[in-house]
Structure 1
Amino acid sequence: MNNLREVWSKRFVFYINELQKYMKFIVSGHLAIVIVFAIGALGYTYSGWLNTAPQDFPAYLVVAFILSILVTLSTPVTLLKNADSVYFLPLETKLGEYLRLALRWTYFSSIVVTLAAYVVAIPLLTRVAGSTREEIIALLIFLLVLKYWSIHTEFNFRWAANGRGVWGDRFLRFLLVLVALYFLLSGSYLFVILVAIVQFIYTMAWVKKKKEVPFPFEHFIVVEQSRMMRFYRFANYFTDVPHIRGATKRRKWLDVFYKLARYGQKNTQLYLVMRTFIRTNDFFYLWLRLTGLAIIGAVFIPFPIVSIIFAAALSFATVIQIKHALLSGYEFRMDLLFPIEKDARKQSVASLIRILQFIQAAAVLIGVLIQGGNSPITFLVPVAVLIVSELTLRMNKI
C-alpha cells in the first residue's frame, strides 16, 4: 500500500472504533454517576470559594501553572505498529504525510483538556484577578498557539534524540510556557515576545537536528504501545479486555492482613481473594487512588454536604469496581477442585470489600480531623462511606 494517507485513515477508523467499544463501558453506568456528583461537588465548592477568595490570591500564577502542565504534556499519537519499522522503510521519504495527519489528530484530541481548564479558569481570572474580555480572548488564542508549538517541539525532540531525555525537554518547555503565560496574564507583552523568540529558537534547533538522523520507528512504536496499554488498563477496570494481563507484585509488607482470614476450610476463599487483591496491581492501585481522592475531598472541600456527596460517590465507585474486578474472572482456578460452597467466593469478596471500606472510612475520618471542621455534620462523611458501601454491596448483583 503506497498511499500512507489511506493507511492512516484505516488505522484511525480502527482506533476510533476501539475507543468507542470500551468507552461505552467506562462512561455509562456507575462512573457516569460518580462524574456527575464529582463535577457538581467541585463546581459548587469552586463557586463558593470565588465569593470569598482573597484579593491578593495569586490567580495569574495558579492559572499559568495549571495550564502550563496541560500544554506541556503533548505525547504524539502516531498509531504506529510493530511491523511498521520494516514495511514503512521503503516509504520513508513519504512518511511526512502520515506524520502530519498524526500530529493534527494529536493537536485536536489533546487541546480539549486544555480548553476545559481554560473555561474553568475564566471566573477566577475575571472575578479575582480582574481580567478584561480582551485579555481572556488573547489567552485563548495564545493557548491554541502554545499547544501547537508544544506538540511539534516534543515530536521533533523525540525524533532527534531517539526518545532520550524526554522529561528534560518537558521540564524546559514547561518553564517556557509558564513564563510566557504569566507575562501574558500580567500584561508584560514585551517579555512575552522575548520568550516566544526563545521558544522559536529552541524548536528550530531540534528541527535542524532531526534532519540529521533517520526516523526512530522503534521509539514511536513503543510510545504508541504504552499509550494504548494505559487506556486498556483503565478500561479493564470496567470490563474485560481480552488482550491485557494485569501485573502483580509481592507486597510482603501487607502480609499481616492475611491474618484476618483465619486458618480453616471456610476461610479458603477469603484468603485467596485477599491475595488476589493485594498482589494484583490493577485492583490494589484502583482502591488506593479512589481512597486517596476521598481523603483529598475530605481535607479540601470546605462544605460538609458537598464533601459527603463526594465521598459517597467515590465509595460507590470503589465497591462497584472492586466487586466486579474480583468476580468477573471466568478462568479456571485450582480452588474450583475443592469442596467449597458455591457462593463462598461471593461471600469472601463481600467480606473483603467491607474490610477495605472500613479502612477507607477510617482514612476519610483522618482527613476530616485534619481539616478541623467545627460542624458535627463533617463527621457524617466517613459514615456516608460505610452506609453507601454497604448499600451498594447488597443491591448490586454480579
Structure 2
Amino acid sequence: MTSLWKKRQRAHFLEMLKYLRYVLNDHFVIALLFLVGGLGYGYSNFLKTIDGPSWWSAPVVILCLAVLVQLGSLATLFQKADPVFLLPREHDMHGYLKQALFHSWLFSFCVEILGFAILYPFLSIAVHFLTFQVIVLGLSFPILKLGSLFLALNQLYRNSRSNQWHTLVLNWGLPILWFVGGLYLNVWITLIGAVIQCLVEILYEAKQWQLYSLGWRLAIQIEDQRMLRIYRFFNLFTDVPNIRGTVHRRKYFDGILKWADRNTSNPYVYLFMRALARSTEYSGMYFRLTLLGMVLLIFISNLYLSLFLQILFVYLISFQLLPLLINYEENVFTHLYPIQKSIQVAGFNWVMVRLLLATVVLFGLAAGIAHASVLQGVVSLMIGFIESWMLLKLYFPTRIKKMTS
C-alpha cells in the first residue's frame, strides 16, 4: 500500500504541475504580484489606523481563525476502478489512508501557517497578544486540522456523510468555542480544547475502522468532488478534459431567452443564450468571475489598482467564454442548416457584447458605490467600455479565426 500511495502521489503531483504551468503564466504572475502588493499595502495602512483593542477585534479574529481551520480536505486519490481491484486488500487500505491523511494534513498545515502569519500583525496590534500567546494560539491550528481529517476518515468507514448539525458542531462550533475561550479568557484554553477534541476524534477513528468496512462508493464520490473543484479552478486558465459541465433547467432564464429571440433574427443567438442558461460550464464561470471581481473592487480603494483588476477580470471573462463559439460544432444539425459562418460569428459577438457590458456596468457600480466616488465609477465604466470595444474589434477576430480555421 505504501508503494501504491507513492505512485499515485507522484502522478497527482505531475498532473497538478502540468496545469500550474498554464496558471502561473507571465501575465497572471504579474497580475498576482500587483494584487498581493495592493492588498498588502492596503492591509498595512489599515493596521496603522488601529489605535488599540476594540469590541470588534476579537470577533473578527475568531471568524478568521474558524475559516482558516476549514481550509484543506482529505485527499485519498481514489480512482473509480479501486473497488474492483483493491477490495481483496481492504484491510490494508487503512495504511494507505493514513498516508493520505498525513499528506492532506501537511498541505493544510502550510496553508494555515501562511494565513496565520498574515493575521499575526492584527493579533498583536488590535488584540494586544504577546508573542508567546500568538505561538500557543498557532499551535492549536495543526491539532484541530488533524482531528478534522480523522473525522473525515471516520465517515468513510461509517459509509455515511456527517449530517449537517454534526459537521457544524465538530468542525465549526467546537473550534469557535475554543477560540472564544482563548481570546476572552486564557489562550491556553484554545490549545487544551484542541488537544482534547483531536484525541477524541483519533481514538474514535481507531475503533471504527476495525468494526466497519470501507465505504468505497462514498470515498470515490468525495474524491471526485474534491478533484472537480481543483479542475474548475484550472479551467479558468486552460481547457481541462477531466471536467464536464452539467445541464440544468433554469426557468427563471426563460424571460431572457424570449427577449433575445425577439430582438434578433440570428438563430445562433438563441443557441448561445440557451447554452449559457443551461450549462454550468459557461454560466458558472461567468457569474463566479463577475462576483469575485466585484468583491475585489469593493475592498480595493486604490483607483489604479482597481482599474487594473477590472481590465484583468473583463479579459479573463472574455477569454473563458470564447469556447462558446464552437459549443455546437459537434452537433450535426448545425452543419445541415444553410447558414453562413459569418452568421454564427455575428451571433456570438451579439451575445458577448451584452455579457461584457453587463459585467462592466456591475464593476462600475461596485467601485463607485463602495467608495462613494462618482468619479471612480465613471472612470471604471469608461475604461470598461473601451476595453470591451477593443476585445470585440481587435482580439476576438484573431482568436475566432484561429478557432475556426
**TM-score above 0.5, yes or no:** yes
Which residue in the other structure is 2:118 paired with?
A: 120
CA distance in 2, matches of 1:37, 1:270: 37
Q: Specify the SS of the correspondent of 1:246.
A: coil
Higher alpha-carbon deviation: 101-110 or 384-393: 384-393
Higher alpha-carbon deviation: 218-227 or 388-397: 388-397
Contact 2:140 2:190 in 1 (8 A): no
Which residue in the other structure is 2:21 paired with?
A: 24
Contact 1:72 1:170 in 2 (8 A): no
Which residue in the other structure is 1:312 paired with?
A: 311
Contact 2:72 2:107 in 1 (8 A): no
Q: Specify the SS of the correspondent of 2:117.
A: helix
Q: Specify the SS of the correspondent of 1:93.
A: coil
CA distance in 1, matches of 2:323, 2:184: 50
CA distance in 2, matches of 1:29, 1:273: 32
Q: Specify the SS of the correspondent of 1:240.
A: coil
Which residue in the other structure is 2:244 paired with?
A: 245
CA distance in 1, matches of 2:51, 2:345: 52
Contact 1:41 1:307 in 2 (8 A): no
Question: Given the superposition, is the C-alpha separation of residues 341 and 39 from structure 1 closer, same or farther in structure 2, using an over 3 Å criterion?
Answer: farther
Does residue 373 (structure 1) correspond to residue 372 (structure 2)? The answer is yes
Contact 2:105 2:145 in 1 (8 A): yes
Does residue 99 (structure 1) correspond to residue 97 (structure 2)? The answer is yes
Q: Deviation string for 1:352-380 (max 9, x for gaps)? A: 22201211222233334542514623432
Q: Specify the SS of the correspondent of 1:97.
A: helix
Which residue in the other structure is 2:349 paired with?
A: 350
Which residue in the other structure is 1:395 paired with?
A: 395
Quote the offset at 1:137 in angstroms. Answer: 3.0
Question: Given the superposition, is the C-alpha separation of residues 137 and 370 from structure 1 closer, same or farther in structure 2, using an over 3 Å criterion?
Answer: same
Which residue in the other structure is 2:181 paired with?
A: 183
TM-score by length of 2: 0.85
TM-score by length of 1: 0.86
2:127 maps to a residue whose letter is A
CA distance in 2, matches of 1:53, 1:325: 48
Q: Deviation string for 1:333-358 (max 9, x for gaps)? A: 52233333334333332332220121
Structure 1 segment 276-355 matched on structure 2, within 5 A: 276-327=275-326, 331-355=330-354
Structure 1 segment 1-398 matched on structure 2, within 5 A: 4-28=1-25, 31-53=28-50, 55=52, 56=54, 58-160=56-158, 162-165=160-163, 168-185=166-183, 188-192=186-190, 195-196=193-194, 198-199=196-197, 200-258=199-257, 259-262=259-262, 267-327=266-326, 331-368=330-367, 370-371=369-370, 373-374=372-373, 376-393=375-392, 394-395=394-395, 397-398=398-399
CA distance in 1, matches of 2:319, 2:206: 49
Q: Deviation string for 1:173-209 (max 9, x for gaps)? A: 2222223234335560453355236413354344434
Higher alpha-carbon deviation: 224-233 or 330-339: 330-339
Question: Given the superposition, is the C-alpha separation of residues 228 and 286 from structure 1 closer, same or farther in structure 2, using an over 3 Å criterion?
Answer: same
| 5+ residue gaps, structure 2 | 400-405
Q: Deviation string for 1:207-264 (max 9, x for gaps)? A: 4344321222221111112222233333334333334331122323223333335576
* RMSD value, Cα: 2.9
Question: Given the superposition, is the C-alpha separation of residues 377 and 362 from structure 1 closer, same or farther in structure 2, using an over 3 Å criterion?
Answer: closer
Quote the offset at 1:27 in angstroms. Answer: 3.1
Q: Specify the SS of the correspondent of 1:352.
A: helix
Question: Given the superposition, is the C-alpha separation of residues 390 and 108 from structure 1 closer, same or farther in structure 2, using an over 3 Å criterion?
Answer: farther
| 5+ residue gaps, structure 1 | none
CA distance in 2, matches of 1:197, 1:105: 20
Contact 1:74 1:154 in 2 (8 A): no
Q: Which has the higher contact order (CA 8 A, sep 6+)?
A: 1
Contact 1:45 1:306 in 2 (8 A): no
Q: Deviation string for 1:267-302 (max 9, x for gaps)? A: 222222222222211211111112212322343333
